[in-house]
Every structure is written in C-alpha cells, then in structure tokens.
C-alpha cells in the first residue's frame, strides 16, 4: 500500500512539475525569441528600444520593449516568476519522493561509495546549494563581464560537478543531480537576480528616479544563461529512463557532450532569431551533431561475449531468484513492495518473463547497474555477465 501511495504522490508531483516546467521553458523560449526579434522602427515612443510584430491565434500583436523602463509604470504589469519558482519547488519535491525517500535504493550505490541514506541526502542538498553559489560568484566576478570565458567556466563547473556526483552517487542519482543542480541555478537566477533587479527598477520608477540600466543588463545575462541551459537540463531530467547514459565508466564526459550539443543547438536558433544569416552560424550544427555522435558511440553497448559451453537455464533461474524475484514477481515478497504490483509491472519469476524483458534487463542490469535496486543483494559483475551471455543466447 505504501508503495502504491508513494507512486501516486510521485505521479501527481511529476505531473505538476512537467506542467510548470513547460510553462517556464515556453516563456523562456518566447521571451528570448522576442528579444532577438526586436527591431528599431520609425516613430517609436520615447524609451522604446525596439518592437516586434507577431501573428498568433487569430490576431496581430505589436510588442515594444522599453529599455530600461517606461516613464510611468502601468498598473497591470504582468510578472513571470511563478513558473520558475513552482518548477523548482515541484522538482525538489520530486527529488524527495523519488530519491530521498528511498535514498539507499536510488541514490546510493555501495560499489561507488559506501554511505548511509542520511549522508547521501546531506551531500545532495549541499551540492545543489554549492552549485548555485559557485555559479553566482562566477557571474559576479570579473569573468562575468566576458561572455565567452564565462560560458567556458560555467561549462567546466557543470562537467566538474558531474564528475564529483559520479564519485558519490549511483549512476542515475549522479545524472539527476546534474539536472537538479543546473535547474536550481536557473530557478535561483530568477529568484535571486532577475526578479529582484526588476523590482529595484520598478521601485526607482515609482520614486521618480531613473533606474540603473546595469540592473536590466544583468537580468538579461542571467535570463540568456537560463535559455542556453534549457535543452541540456531537459535531457538530464529524463536521463534515468536511459541507463546507457550513466552506465558509461566516464559518464561525466557524456554530460559534457550533452551540454555542448544542447547549447550549440540553442545558439544556432538564437542567432538566427537575432537576424544573423543561417550561413554565419551554421557551424554550430555540425558541432552539436558531432558531440551527439561521439556520445552515441561511447554509450553503445559492448557485445556480450558468449560463455564457453553456454549458460544453462538453471544458472539464470538461480541468479534472478537470488537478485530480482523478491521485487519482480506477481506477488513481491520484498518488504518495500509487499502487497503492491511488481515495480513497472516487470515480472521475472519465470524464464519467459526474463526473455520478455530481455532488452530492459540488458539495459538495467547487464550494461547498466540500475538493477538490482541499490544492489541490495550484492550481485557480482560475473553474474551480470552470465545474465548478458544467456540473453544473447536466446
Ligand atoms: C529491491 C527491489 C528490486 C530488485 C531486487 C530488483 N528490482 Fe528491478 N526494479 C525495481 C524498481 C523499484 C523498479 C522501477 C525503477 C524506476 O522507478 O525507475 C525496477 C525496474 C526494473 C525494470 C524496468 C525498468 C524500466 O524503466 O522499465 C527492469 C527491466 C528491472 N527492474 C530488472 C531487474 C532485474 C533484472 C533485477 C535482478 C538482477 C532487478 N530488477 C532487481 C526494484 C527492484
């Protein structure tokens, strides 16, 4: 029952998280596009930097951007912040129910590092906070004024963090933490920089003073960072369904390739929106493609070597009974799943069940190390290889 209830809570939070995440990223795409599409036109009002014409939903929109701000403040000003805040809050809640609740299963892999669930959770919270502090300091330092150098440093920060996560957490735990850390940076950009700066601008206007243009510029820089990080972060958020991503012994390099690839695709789109000729930025696409191809090559499975004399069915029954069936049976006997459906409906109590799930088992337990959950049963690499060899025989 608890497993069932937890699954529903998990699903409800996930649903919420996806909805607000779409709203946030949609707004981010739209506003960055809008900014790049602004053009100076004849007869613009005082303080207008540029305007854009849009057609959508049966009508035309004419949007003007004031830099820094209009002379008087409209009373019905729309703010865009709750999308970001709620995405963070639901994301953190999801981290709690999915990873902290069962930390010893999902976050800790004794083969990577022996630690208690409590220790894993503390490390998780501290690194999310630490990632934001390090990124924020970088942006505020003199490096923050040099866009190219800053991009390289933020890239190095993310890849470095991925390396460290790989030294402490399970493979999937490490990948979700890359996503969570970057997502935290993005939400904190909104909460700590973009909105506060906007509020200072509004306060100056209300006080009848000229707002400091630097505030708007910094807000814009952070919002552009968020835009570049959206594509990689989305991939990290779904990474746990693809064990080949984090099964690689140097999974942090896969992280580097994903950030590079997503960032380059975003760069191409942004520059074209800004009015650059596609030819002048088209170089970004082969770079993105090459990064992906290298990632695909690296993560491709090594063929399972057949074992001399073949693997007997009895040997496989023995392995799955010892390491899988307590959770993956019609009626699981494992404490955490008693009285509930087997996880993901995967039943391995017959050899037919094992055959039916061959591809998933290969990904989860042979090439990847996601199963058995948290390696509670201490399966050996030799047993994993035997399982792989038997699946290849089928
Ligand atoms: C302690 C319980 C437990 C044990 C033992 C266990 N699993 Fe799992 N298994 C789970 C849970 C929980 C999930 C769902 C994971 C998730 O939510 O991503 C799962 C999911 C799976 C999936 C489906 C993955 C997907 O995303 O559809 C496969 C395949 C699988 N396990 C195979 C195995 C194999 C093979 C073994 C034995 C070597 C094993 N499991 C041992 C709990 C267990």
User: Can you tell me the distance from the alpha carbon of 72 to that of 228, in angstroms, rounded to the nearest whole number?
Assistant: 33
For ligand 1, atom 9, the nearest C-alpha belongs to 343
What per-residue confidence (pLDDT) applies to 236? 96
Q: By mean pLDDT, which of 44-48, 78-82, 260-264, 336-340 is the weakest?
A: 336-340
Which of 172, 346, 347, 385 maximizes ligand 1 atoms within 8 Å of its Cβ, making it the mutation to test the pocket?
Answer: 346
Any ligand 1 atom below 6 A from CB of 357: yes
Any ligand 1 atom below 6 A from CB of 258: no
User: Can you tell me the distance from the alpha carbon of 280 to that of 222, in angstroms, rounded to the nearest whole number?
Assistant: 25
pLDDT exceeds 80 at position 306? no
User: Could you tell me which of 166, 2, 21 has the C-alpha nearest to residue 83?
Assistant: 21
Any ligand 1 atom below 6 A from CB of 365: yes
C-beta of residue 168 within 8 angstroms of C-beta of residue 115: yes
What per-residue confidence (pLDDT) applies to 257? 97
For ligand 1, atom 33, the nearest C-alpha belongs to 371
User: Could you tell me which of 155, 161, 183 has the C-alpha nearest to residue 89?
Assistant: 183
CB under 8 A, 24+ apart: contacts of 97-104: 97/6, 97/9, 97/10, 97/13, 98/10, 99/124, 99/173, 99/176, 100/124, 101/6, 102/336, 102/374, 104/374, 104/376
Mean pLDDT in residue range 276-280:
92
Ligand 1 centroid distance, CA of 108 (Å): 15
- Work out the percent of the chain whose per-residue pLDDT is above 90: 69
Mean pLDDT in residue range 47-57:
93
Ligand 1 centroid distance, CA of 385 (Å): 17
Which of 110, 366, 373, 390 maximizes ligand 1 atoms within 8 Å of its Cβ, making it the mutation to test the pocket?
Answer: 373
C-beta of residue 387 within 8 angstroms of C-beta of residue 316: yes
Q: By mean pLDDT, which of 29-43, 54-68, 365-379 is the weakest?
A: 365-379
In Å, how far are 29, 92, 202, 205 from 69, measured between CA atoms?
22, 34, 8, 8
What per-residue confidence (pLDDT) applies to 1? 57
What per-residue confidence (pLDDT) applies to 341? 85
pLDDT exceeds 90 at position 208? no
User: Can you tell me the distance from the alpha carbon of 341 to that of 95, in angstroms, rounded to the nearest whole number?
Assistant: 22
Mean pLDDT in residue range 219-232:
92
> Confidence class of residue 161 from pLDDT cuts 50, 70 and 90?
very high
pLDDT tens per residue, range 307-342: 778 899 999 999 999 999 999 999 999 888 888 889
pLDDT exceeds 90 at position 197? yes
Which tokens is 168 given?
Answer: 């402490």
Ligand 1 centroid distance, CA of 319 (Å): 14
Mean pLDDT in residue range 171-190:
96
Any ligand 1 atom below 6 A from CB of 346: yes
Any ligand 1 atom below 6 A from CB of 344: yes
Q: What are phi and psi of 83, to 5 degrees?
A: -55, -45
Domain residues of the chain, as ranges?
Answer: 2-241, 313-393
- Whole-structure pTM value: 0.86
Which of 97, 327, 350, 376 maximizes ligand 1 atoms within 8 Å of its Cβ, making it the mutation to test the pocket?
Answer: 327
């Amino acid at each position: 029952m608890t497993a069932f209830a937890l699954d529903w809570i998990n699903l409800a939070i996930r649903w919420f998280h996806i909805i607000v995440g779409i709203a946030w990223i949609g707004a981010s795409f739209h506003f960055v596009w809008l900014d790049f599409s602004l053009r100076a036109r004849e007869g613009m009002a005082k303080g207008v930097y540029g305007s854009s014409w849009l057609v959508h939903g049966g009508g035309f929109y004419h949007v003007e951007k004031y830099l820094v701000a209009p002379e008087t403040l409209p009373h019905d000003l729309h703010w865009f912040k709750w999308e970001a805040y709620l995405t963070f809050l639901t994301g953190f809640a999801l981290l709690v129910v999915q990873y902290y609740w069962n930390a010893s299963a999902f976050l800790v892999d004794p083969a990577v590092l022996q630690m208690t669930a409590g220790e894993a959770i503390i490390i998780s919270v501290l690194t999310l906070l630490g990632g934001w502090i390090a990124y924020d300091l970088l942006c505020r330092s003199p490096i923050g004024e040099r866009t190219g150098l800053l991009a390289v440093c933020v890239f190095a920060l993310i890849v470095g963090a991925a390396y460290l996560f790989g030294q402490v957490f399970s493979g999937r735990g490490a990948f979700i933490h890359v996503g969570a850390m970057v997502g935290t940076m993005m939400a904190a950009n909104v909460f700590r920089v973009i909105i506060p700066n906007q509020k200072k601008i509004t306060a100056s206007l209300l006080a009848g003073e000229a707002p400091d243009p630097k505030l708007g510029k910094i807000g814009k820089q952070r919002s552009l960072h968020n835009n570049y990080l959206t594509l990689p972060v989305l991939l990290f958020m779904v990474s746990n369904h693809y064990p080949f991503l984090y099964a690689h012994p140097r999974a942090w390099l896969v992280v580097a390739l994903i950030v590079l690839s997503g960032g380059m695709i975003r760069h191409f789109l942004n520059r074209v929106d800004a009015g650059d000729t596609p030819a002048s930025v088209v170089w970004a696409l082969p770079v993105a493609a090459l990064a992906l191809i290298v990632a695909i090559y690296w993560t491709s499975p090594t063929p399972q070597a057949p074992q001399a004399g073949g693997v007997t069915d009895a040997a496989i029954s023995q392995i799955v009974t010892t390491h899988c069936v307590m959770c993956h049976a019609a009626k699981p006997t494992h404490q955490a799943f008693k009285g509930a459906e087997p996880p993901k409906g995967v039943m391995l109590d017959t050899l037919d069940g094992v055959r039916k799930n061959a591809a998933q088992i290969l990904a989860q337990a042979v090439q990847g190390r996601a199963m058995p959950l948290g390696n509670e049963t201490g399966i050996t690499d030799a047993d994993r290889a035997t399982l792989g060899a038997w699946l290849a025989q089928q």
